[in-house]
């Protein structure tokens, strides 16, 4: 089962809205205020598990009524989905404790993922969040194994508990393999990051390790099948898992390359200082206020009497006003209003900043530290840097 504890960054800025993202899958509730969902792709898999397990129960216990066998099969499918969910909850709890936040949890056909609000600030945090899932699965496997040990021998309860224990131990072992997108790959990434101080290098190493694991599993599955040591179904499942690991590893390698291209893409470097003037101020008064501030190349912001920033003046618009008219022109006639919610925190950089502005990279954003507005991130600078990194198409003059 695949279990990346954070959603792999896309090569291009995601354009899904919050409503669209939360609308995917069946809602199971909320954890730390974040939605928990069951992917629709899991439903056919759940039905298949119910049927196959039910058939197995009926073959082993021919006297059992058919409906009862399929109810037991549904119970095993439920145990699997709850196990995957608790695995993800392990990631989420650790992420929340370490201040990374939780954006959402999704249980999918081959596992699940926990999407965090921000990336791990340090290798230790990455390591702890990564290992929380496999440790949770290991604990579930031990508990289910103990339940099987105390259950009456030969009963359905013993069988269900034993196979739930086995499934959780397999999930823990597979996810501990040191290759992305598995949890062990995140742990390897953290170790390389800590040793070299280079996060993208850790991601690349773990990504290529993931591809090596996928290739080994594929070759092993085909070899065992041709040697009649593995069934056709077992081989096909292993091939599917290998393909999923290979794809996830490739995404990680691509994300590392993207991070390298985003060197210098941070709020502290790109933002401009801000000088706020009240709505109704003339342009001449605003320019005088800027001159008195002593700040280098600040952005003029227009604020309401209660201190709310309404918008900013673009240098091009200010420069276009003749000097003799500046004392008669109000800043309100030149203001470019900011889109509500266009706010970024001063510490954002790299992929985190790309995700924050990816839906509208040409817009202006207020830069905040705690609850204070301390500057403006100009859309023009953002677009220029994104163009230079090859992340958006260059604009051609018409």
3-class SS string, 188-233: HHHHHHHHHCCHHHHHHHHHHHHHHHHHHHHHHHHHHHHCCCCCHH
Domain match, 136 and 282 both: no
Assigned domain for 199 exists? yes
Query: What pLDDT sits at residue 13?
Result: 34
Assigned domain for 66 exists? yes
Q: Are 276 and 251 in contact (CB under 8 A)?
A: no
Domain match, 62 and 127 both: yes
- Structural domain of residue 292, as residue ranges? 267-388
Domain match, 16 and 153 both: yes
Query: What pLDDT sits at residue 94?
Result: 97
Domain match, 91 and 12 both: yes
Domain match, 150 and 241 both: no
Nearest to 296 by CA among 320, 281, 274: 274
CA dihedral 115, 119, 125, 127 (to 10 degrees): 70
**Would the pLDDT of 37 be above 90?**
yes
Q: How many Å apart are CA 26 and CA 14, to the nearest integer?
A: 22
Task: Name the domain count of the chain.
Answer: 3
Query: What pLDDT sits at residue 119?
Result: 86
CATH number of the domain within which 375 lies: 3.10.580.10
Domain match, 6 and 136 both: yes
**Would the pLDDT of 358 be above 80?**
no
Domain limit, last residue, from 176, 211, 227: 176
Q: How many Å apart are CA 304 and CA 150, to the nearest integer?
A: 70
Poorest-confidence range of 3-17, 24-38, 130-144, 208-222?
Answer: 3-17
Domain limit, last residue, from 261, 277, 304: 261
Assigned domain for 397 exists? no
* CA torsion through residues 3, 135, 103, 181, sign: negative
Q: How many Å apart are CA 364 and CA 379, to the nearest integer?
A: 5
Number of residues in the chain: 398
Query: What pLDDT sits at residue 255?
Result: 87
Domain limit, last residue, from 213, 228, 261: 261
Q: Are 187 and 129 in contact (CB under 8 A)?
A: no
**Would the pLDDT of 179 be above 90?**
yes
Tell me what the mean pLDDT of segment 263-272 comes to.
Answer: 80
Domain match, 283 and 142 both: no
Q: How many Å apart are CA 108 and CA 44, to the nearest integer?
A: 11
Assigned domain for 87 exists? yes
Domain match, 242 and 282 both: no
Domain match, 246 and 379 both: no
Residue 122 CA: distances (Å) to CA of 100, 118, 307, 356? 11, 12, 36, 20
- Give residue 391's pLDDT band: very low, low, confident or very high (50, 70, 90): low
Domain match, 46 and 131 both: yes
Assigned domain for 188 exists? no
- Give tens-digit pLDDT for 79-103: 999 999 999 999 999 999 999 999 9
Domain match, 26 and 142 both: yes
Domain match, 34 and 124 both: yes
Assigned domain for 51 exists? yes
Assigned domain for 187 exists? no
Q: How many Å apart are CA 368 and CA 354, to the nearest integer?
A: 17
**Would the pLDDT of 310 be above 60?**
yes
Nearest to 268 by CA among 120, 381, 389: 381
**Would the pLDDT of 349 be above 80?**
no
Taking all residues of the chain, what is their mean pLDDT, rounded to a whole number?
86
- Give tens-digit pLDDT for 150-173: 999 989 999 999 999 999 999 999
Assigned domain for 371 exists? yes
Written as six digits, the tokens of 46 are 């759940």
């Amino acid at each position: 089962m695949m279990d990346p504890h954070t959603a792999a960054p896309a090569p291009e800025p995601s354009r899904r809205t919050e409503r669209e993202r939360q609308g995917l899958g069946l809602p199971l509730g909320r954890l730390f205020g974040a939605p928990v969902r069951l992917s629709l792709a899991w439903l056919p898999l759940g039905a298949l598990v119910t049927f196959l397990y039910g058939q197995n129960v009926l073959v082993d216990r021919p006297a059992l009524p058919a409906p009862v066998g399929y109810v037991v099969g549904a119970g095993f499918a439920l145990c699997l989905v709850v196990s995957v969910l608790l695995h993800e909850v392990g990631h989420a709890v650790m992420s929340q404790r370490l201040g990374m936040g939780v954006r959402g949890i999704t249980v999918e056909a081959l596992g699940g993922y926990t999407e965090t609000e921000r990336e791990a600030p340090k290798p230790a945090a990455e390591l702890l969040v990564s290992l929380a899932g496999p440790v949770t699965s290991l604990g579930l496997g031990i508990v289910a194994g103990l339940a099987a040990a105390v259950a009456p021998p030969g009963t359905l309860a013993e069988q269900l508990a034993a196979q739930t224990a086995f499934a959780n131990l397999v999930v823990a072992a597979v996810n501990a393999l040191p290759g992305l997108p598995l949890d062990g790959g995140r742990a390897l990434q953290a170790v390389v990051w800590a040793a070299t101080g280079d996060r993208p290098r850790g991601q690349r190493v773990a990504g290529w390790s993931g591809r090596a694991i996928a290739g080994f599993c594929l070759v092993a599955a085909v070899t065992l099948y041709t040697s009649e040591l593995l069934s056709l179904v077992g081989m096909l499942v292993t091939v599917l898992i290998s393909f999923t690991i290979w794809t996830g590893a490739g995404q990680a390698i691509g994300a590392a390359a993207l991070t390298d291209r985003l060197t210098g893409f941070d709020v502290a470097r790109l933002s401009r200082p801000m000088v706020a003037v009240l709505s109704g101020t003339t342009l001449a008064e605003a320019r005088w206020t800027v001159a008195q501030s002593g700040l280098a190349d600040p952005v003029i912001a227009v604020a309401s009497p209660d201190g709310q920033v309404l918008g900013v003046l673009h240098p091009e618009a200010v420069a276009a006003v003749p000097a003799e008219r500046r004392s008669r022109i109000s800043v309100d006639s030149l203001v470019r209003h900011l889109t509500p919610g266009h706010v970024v925190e001063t510490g954002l950089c790299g992929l985190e900043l790309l995700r924050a502005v990816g839906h509208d990279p040409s817009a202006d954003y207020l830069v905040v530290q705690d609850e204070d507005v301390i500057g403006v991130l100009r859309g023009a600078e953002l677009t220029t840097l994104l163009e230079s990194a090859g992340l958006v198409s260059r604009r051609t003059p018409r």
